[in-house]
Chains A and B, each alone.
Chain A
Amino acid sequence: MKTLVLDGLRKTFSVSSKTVVAVDTFSMELSQGEIVAIVGESGSGKSTVARMVLGLESPTAGQAFIRDEQGHRPCALRDVQMVFQDPFASLNPVHRVQTHLTRPMKKLRLNPPKGEALHRDVEALLRRVELSPSDEYIDRFPDSLSGGQRQRVAIARALAAQPTFLVADEPTSMLDVSIRRDVLRLFSRLRADNLGILLITHDLKSVEAIADRVFVLKEGLCVESGQTEQILTDPRHPYTQLLCNSVPDPEGAFLRDDPVTGDAPR
């Protein structure tokens, strides 16, 4: 049983002699078979946390590592993979779907499959992300796919390396509303497959749909965390309350005056 541990991750940088704290000492644990969400507005640092886990940004302090029966070890690309926000920009326009999937297989798997086995693995991957029949998708270029299809290819690419954990950075924010639910369901299914998923999002609705636990980030600091149900129905921190109250509902409750926050202009 593996656990992804974020231990005191901190990111600061200096802008003209001032120090800006993007992430202020963030810690959490993610086990296999659960979905944990980090929620916050833009500028809250949630994307930076994700990038530090993947090694795309180097932390100013703290580290991310894997804990298993043998002890601790730093995160490798075989352990954690990422799904990016923009399904159009995260796929190379000149490569076919097949190429996108076979590269991480060849580079990152311990026993890279070849020939027939490689082809079968690609087909299995496409089936797993619900792109069937796989023959229809293998030779296509990204610009002939819809946004939802592209994001599924991106998820398949992340899964190609057979990681234990997945970090999804706003995976549905650039997709049409009618297909967001299906993509979120896919993440749910992956959780049932014993993957651990770190979901970065600003959308409380998707958190409610699939996340087991939530961390609320405001300006780099974690202000509240806990079980999803508890956080969403009974938020304690004023910022979390503000966040929950601002989610649009068809009756218009979100537009009413809120005694907690008043209506202070920014």
Chain B
Amino acid sequence: MSLLDVRSLTVEYCGALGNRVAVDGMSFQIGKGEFIGLAGESGSGKSTVAKAVMRILQTPGFISGGEVYFEGVDILKMSSEELRELRWRDMAMVFQSALDSLNPVLSIRSQFQDMAQAKLGRPMTDSELVEVLDFVQLEPRLLDSYPHQLSGGMRQRVGIALALSLKPKLLILDEPTTALDVVVQRHILRGLIRLRKQLGFAVLFITHDLPVLLAMSDRVIVMKDGQVCDDLSPAELRHHPTHPYTRTLLDSMALLVADDSRTSGRGD
């Protein structure tokens, strides 16, 4: 039984001129401990899928069809209390901008305690806090800092630590490194690999950066206009893509890859 089983998920947004379909009957699965990459550009619906699965979709968005099974239970039919239990314990999410997910007026320690109080009913002990920060190789002295005092990369690592505090089975990352530089990105991705070895969680990694997904995923799903174009292993995707859009994405990547020999893009 797979960890996450999405069947014909349809998500719409209520607009002035009618409803817009953001996710159109999408189906995919994530097995235990699997790393699934979700590739798509703006408007593809990739972020919407993540929010729908986490059940944190905001008005004017709403789920209009399909089922989402987490460990065999349809989470679209869960009550608010059941969802609260599910979120963060079993499934957690890291957002694109830690600026969006970290409260600017709370110290890092308070962010953790805030979450712990809501989820565990008690504050975290100091040793728990140190352990969680150690996951992302941040020093304990940062606990008393505020988000604006940390660099973008550090903030994102705090976001990852927060998400992993309760050791969920599935971690969803929505463009976690898009706003960061390649050097910081590499550092964070290496940390993610290490954590997966340590804790064994499954990952849904959402980004437009195809090379990252090809390098790290067990499977890559390519999305466009709310639909799945391809759902293949990295090797198959690179060499035998079926959908023309996948080929377009691969082409834009192929031109600009550092290891390839010099391209003829110059002097057009």
Binding site for B on A (CB under 8 A): 41-42, 147, 176-178, 180-181, 184-185, 188-189, 192, 202, 204-206, 208-210, 212, 229, 232, 242-255, 263, 265-266
Q: Contacts A188-B265, A188-B266 hold; do A263 and B183 have CB atoms under 8 A apart?
A: no
Comparing B93-101, B160-168, B187-195, the segment that makes contact with chain A is B187-195
Measured CB to CB, the nearest residue on chain A to B245 is A178
B193, A209: Cβ atoms closer than 8 Å: no
List residues of chain B with CB within 8 A of the CB of A266: 151, 153-154, 184, 187
A177, B258: Cβ atoms closer than 8 Å: no
List residues of chain B with CB within 8 A of the CB of A178: 41, 248-249, 252
Q: How many residues of B contact A (CB 8 A)?
A: 44
4 extra A-B contacts, CB within 8 A, seeds A189-B268, A250-B215, A255-B186: A181-B255, A206-B256, A255-B189, A255-B190
B252, A181: Cβ atoms closer than 8 Å: yes
A176 to B210 alpha-carbon distance, docked (Å): 12
Measured CB to CB, the nearest residue on chain B to A258 is B186
Q: Contacts A188-B268, A250-B257, A266-B151 hold; do A204 and B41 have CB atoms under 8 A apart?
A: no
Q: Which of B186, B187, B265, B267 has the most CB of A within 10 A?
A: B186
The 8 A CB mask of B189-230 against A (1 = contact, 0 = none) is 110010000000000000011111011100000000000000
Listed by A's residue number, 28 A-B pairs whose Cβ atoms lie within 8 Å are A41-B182, A177-B210, A178-B41, A178-B249, A181-B265, A184-B265, A188-B267, A189-B268, A202-B182, A205-B256, A205-B258, A208-B256, A208-B263, A209-B255, A229-B262, A232-B258, A242-B183, A248-B209, A248-B215, A249-B215, A250-B234, A250-B253, A251-B214, A254-B186, A255-B189, A255-B190, A265-B138, A266-B151
Judged by DSSP, the binding face of B is: helix
How many residue pairs link A and B with beta carbons under 8 A? The number is: 118
A177, B182: Cβ atoms closer than 8 Å: no
List residues of chain B with CB within 8 A of the CB of A192: 267-268
A190 to B258 alpha-carbon distance, docked (Å): 24
Judged by DSSP, the binding face of A is: helix
A232 to B257 alpha-carbon distance, docked (Å): 11
List residues of chain A with CB within 8 A of the CB of B153: 266
Out of A176, A181, A265, name the residue touching B208 (CB < 8 Å): A176
A184 to B263 alpha-carbon distance, docked (Å): 13
Whether, in the assembled complex, B58 has its beta carbon less than 8 Å from a beta carbon of chain A, the answer is no
Q: How far is the CB of A132 from chain B (nearest CB, A)?
A: 18
Q: Contacts A255-B215, A266-B184 hold; do A250 and B258 have CB atoms under 8 A apart?
A: no
Q: How far is the CB of A108 from chain B (nearest CB, A)?
A: 28
List residues of chain A with CB within 8 A of the CB of B257: 205, 247, 249-250
List residues of chain A with CB within 8 A of the CB of B183: 41, 242-243, 246
Q: Which of A178, A180, A242, A263 has the most CB of B within 10 A?
A: A178
